[in-house]
A and B are shown apart, each in its own frame.
Chain A
Amino acid sequence: MPAAAAPPSIRLDGVSKWFFKHGKRFAALDNISAEIADGAFVALVGPSGCGKTTLFNMIAGFARADRGHVIYHGRPVESPNIGIGYMTQKDALLPWRSVLANVMLPLHLQKIPQTEARKRALDMLQRVGLKSFAEHLPRELSGGMQKRAALARTLVFNPATLLMDEPFGNVDIQLKLQLQRELMSLWENARKTVVFVTHDLEEAIALSDQVIVLSRRPGRIKAVVPIELPRPRDPVAIRFEASFQAIHRQLWDLTDIATEDEDG
């Protein structure tokens, strides 16, 4: 559990974001206030179009809030938030570079010497089980391996905060569970701040310390639910615990997901 006294990693202070369509103004996010503790794993759930990705883009510094502030480690985010790890449903691996060269890229950009970068990248690839595929191109890997490679690249430069926007959104359930397990074991060793967007309630509960439920557009915070399940956790086994199912039921009633079609 994150220490309650530590200053928050991310603070959202009355954040609103508008969009314009056919000359009319629509609120995508309305007055979002939240604190994400340093080292916490926080899941963000909500129906499609509730502004989850918009919120992410603001934390990453790709978009500005129209009202309110996004504060990252005490500083307002005004430009791309360099040094945070960002992983989306698309793997964003550079297709013309080998897996190893992809994983070395963030280290290279941090001017870490070649041999050291290589060593760290190979070490990270080993941890995600891809060491023997280091010299392959991304397109030569399966979808799951590409996710692992993207995960390795996101973790290798040791970012203090990870933003994960439905990272396992379009993989089959078996692979998804496996990736969740790997993510959990990596995270429980490193304890980075993670904000994890998903529309899969079970995934949210199985992984996180806290679930923030957003409402239908305009996105408002509907509930903040602490997930008091023990750690270290096996995100697969925990699904069968009574405590998990109780939280699941509680969250289910809070979300519109029951009437929701697909996607975020």
Chain B
Amino acid sequence: MADTTFAEDMIDPAIAAERRRRNIIFAARIIVAASAILLWELMSPHFDRLVISSPVEIAARSWEWAKDGTLYLNLLVTGEEILLGYVAGAIAAVALGLLLGSYPTIAAILDPLLMAIYGVPKIAFGPLFIVWFGINLTPKVVICGVTVFFFIFLATYEGVRNVDRDLLRTIRLMGATRMQERALVVIPGAMPAILLGLKLAIPEALVGAIVGELIVSNKGIGYLIEYSASQLDSAGVFAGLFILMILAVVANSAVNYATKKTGREMQ
């Protein structure tokens, strides 16, 4: 473009104001976070080291773990649990949601059973899954998968139930088969709800995996936290929590990015 030099003058004042507002929010976020950390650091000599660590110590511990491979090893374990659990739970949930959404009678039959399982806190299944699946990867994947499953299943089911009946009637009269109805109307119609479920289930996947690790494990971020606590090492506990926070942010951004992309393609 030849006239980019004039571009600045041509920006809509409303857009410019919105941009300014966003910059202010961004700057303010950094200032708030920095002051909180600074305040914490300054106050930390007054706290009991066994109870609350200091930001510098947490950073040092995180760095130490990153250097000696502790972080990588344990992150890999937790990441694997989350990924496997999430993917398996999501596939099962979408499949069952689509199925039950289109067969209300089967849904009505299974409803009390599903709601009963849904109502039990998934942590309570932990000991059972350990008895069933041992103490390694599998029970964590299963707890994570079960947790994720209900979120995505309910979202998918509702999405399918709320598909516009007029759309279905219209294409049925055009001669669509059951399969075509599903491919052309039910799945695309339910897609926004499914994507929302996939998104809301991310933090739940984290919960599932960490809960599993806290119950019994010898690897993973949950194990790092548990182990540090048993050593009265508060810097280690906080470093573990800090790593989980980063993991949650990364997972959320990944799904945000993916859903945005799919969302755009859907439209």
Contacts and interface: CB of A to CB of B under 8 A. Distances in A.
Interface of A: 60, 62, 80-86, 88, 90, 92, 94-96, 105-106, 109-110, 137, 157
B164 interface: yes
Nearest to A90: B166
Interface of B is mostly: helix
A86 B164 contact: no
B171 A109 contact: yes
Contacts of B167: 92, 94
A83 B176 CA distance: 10
A109 B176 contact: yes
A106 B174 contact: yes
Given A84-B173, A105-B171, 20 more contacts: A60-B173, A62-B169, A80-B169, A80-B173, A81-B173, A83-B175, A85-B173, A86-B173, A88-B166, A90-B166, A92-B166, A92-B169, A94-B185, A96-B188, A96-B266, A96-B267, A105-B184, A109-B175, A110-B174, A157-B174
B176 to A, nearest CB: 5
Contacts of B171: 105, 109
Given A92-B164, A94-B185, A109 B174 contact: yes
B28 to A, nearest CB: 36
A111 B180 CA distance: 12
Nearest to A62: B169
B170 interface: yes
B19 interface: no
20 contacts: A60-B173, A80-B172, A81-B173, A82-B174, A82-B175, A83-B173, A83-B175, A86-B170, A88-B166, A92-B164, A92-B166, A92-B169, A94-B184, A95-B267, A96-B191, A96-B266, A105-B174, A109-B171, A110-B174, A157-B174
Contacts of A81: 173
Interface in B41-66: none
Contacts of B180: 109
> Nearest 9 pairs between A and B by C-beta?
A106-B174, A92-B170, A92-B166, A82-B175, A86-B173, A109-B174, A80-B172, A109-B175, A96-B188
Contacts, number: 49
Contacts of A88: 166
Contacts of B169: 60, 62, 80, 86, 92
Which residue among B164, B169, B185 has the maximum number of chain A CB atoms within 10 Å of its CB?
B169
A106 B171 CA distance: 7
Interface centre among A60, A106, A109 (most CB of B within 10 A): A109
A82 B172 contact: yes
Nearest to A137: B267
Contacts of A60: 169, 173
B144 to A, nearest CB: 32
Contacts of B191: 96
| B166, B174, B176, B267: most-surrounded residue (chain A CB, <10 A) | B174
Interface in B124-175: 164, 166-167, 169-175
Nearest to B188: A96
B185 to A, nearest CB: 7
Nearest to B180: A109
A80 B171 CA distance: 11
A110 B188 CA distance: 21
Given A94-B188, A96-B267, A137-B267, A82 B173 contact: yes
Nearest to A110: B175
Contacts of A110: 174-175
Contacts of B266: 96
B174 to A, nearest CB: 4
B167 to A, nearest CB: 5
B256 to A, nearest CB: 20
Interface in B76-103: none
B163 to A, nearest CB: 11
B260 to A, nearest CB: 15
A96 B164 CA distance: 13
Nearest to A89: B166
A88 B164 CA distance: 13
Contacts of A86: 169-170, 173
B95 to A, nearest CB: 21
